[in-house]
Chain A
Amino acid sequence: MNISLFLKKKQMKYFRLIVFSIFFLSFSIKAQNLITFQNFDELNAYVQNNSEIPLVVNFWATWCTPCVKELPYFQKLHQDNPNVKVITVSLDFEKQVESKLKPFLKKKNYTFVTTYMADKKFNNWISKVDENWSGSIPATWIIKANKGIFVEQEFASFEELNQFVNESLTKLN
């Protein structure tokens, strides 16, 4: 075996390793199912591309107690209300994505779409969601055919949330 063939074999080995690790990595990401948005434009594009049915976009974080409390209502909404799809956008600290956010989501097993916003220059994008959003969370954005209703509030129960969503959908008609 000459030296170049040996090198080629070695390269092939590395190539296989890389392919395998990419495959494995993408699989594990998929299992984690956390979509990361680098900026508002990416979030907005995602929203536009998934607008075949109305969306309920909830902004939250694991450190926000009222947000965590209302997540089960959003899960129930996602499951029980056939008129909408729920997308949650985590605003967790960058340093807590691996240590807190991902373990939390894994434990809870929510089936709504879970995403993470990496752009922490909040002043650049909060007003793009809604000009009246002061920045407190929880906050919820209901989008139907390019029109939206935004609320900076928490919901006390699934019924309250569901009613609000249904009323918003009627208003957005």
Chain B
Amino acid sequence: MAPLLQFEGVSRHYRLPRRRLFAPTPRVTALDAVSLELNPGETLGLVGESGSGKSTLGRLAVGLEQPDSGVVRLGGIDLAKASRTDWRRLRRDAQMVFQDPFSSLDPRLTVARIVAEPLGLLRLPAAEAAGRVREALAEVGLGVETLGRYPHEFSGGQRQRIAIARALITRPELLVADEPVSALDVSVQAQVLNLMADLKARHGLAYLLISHDLAVVAHLADRIAVMRAGVIVEVGPTAELLARPQHPYTRALLAAVLPPDPVRARARLGLVRRRRQSVGSAAS
């Protein structure tokens, strides 16, 4: 099976502001020769801390940025060599969902227009386009009554549903989701994660799921790639990576998770209280 998305030795640098007039411009390496593949229908989780390069990789995947070296292939097409016709197909096949559902939706547009936006690529007849909008909203659990409303009328979780509906409307094969739930509260986060799992099961959608939250990634991903300082330090099937992390950084990430269980969480933190007996155990 040919990979749906392929990074081959991809590097990306950013220039920083010059510190002195005649000094060379400092550069940071966001990605350092990264190679990674994503198969059709697969969910690949990309986990790492701020500045690890995970968002840059996501932006490269959909052509929002270009690599300084290396090749990004989407559906077998080298993005650096893609023609206009190729791009039309690529933009249909790969869509993106961003972290902040408050800034990624245009506040002046109705839900109907926001969701229909990517359809401009497909040049569909109006009636079919309207049908697609209703269908995409239904996919994410929103009714037709939302069509004429504006983003500010919705909660964070609902806005993220609107953003997902907009991404789904072109019937893509790949959804790049950059921190799709990190702006949401736990109870609402679960709604969106369940929706993403449903869409995957129903349509065989592939996800590149980018998150700092290992718990979120572990829940949805078939495979996990751990990134640090522009490099993938470890990649493997989710269950295996969780059970037998090889790289010390993966182990550190796993060890930093505090379970919602007082006994285990205290043990994780390794906290020994000297001054006072625990009130809980004193009272029982």
The finding on whether chains A and B are genuine partners in a shared complex, rather than unrelated, reads no
Residues on B close to A: CB < 8 A?
none
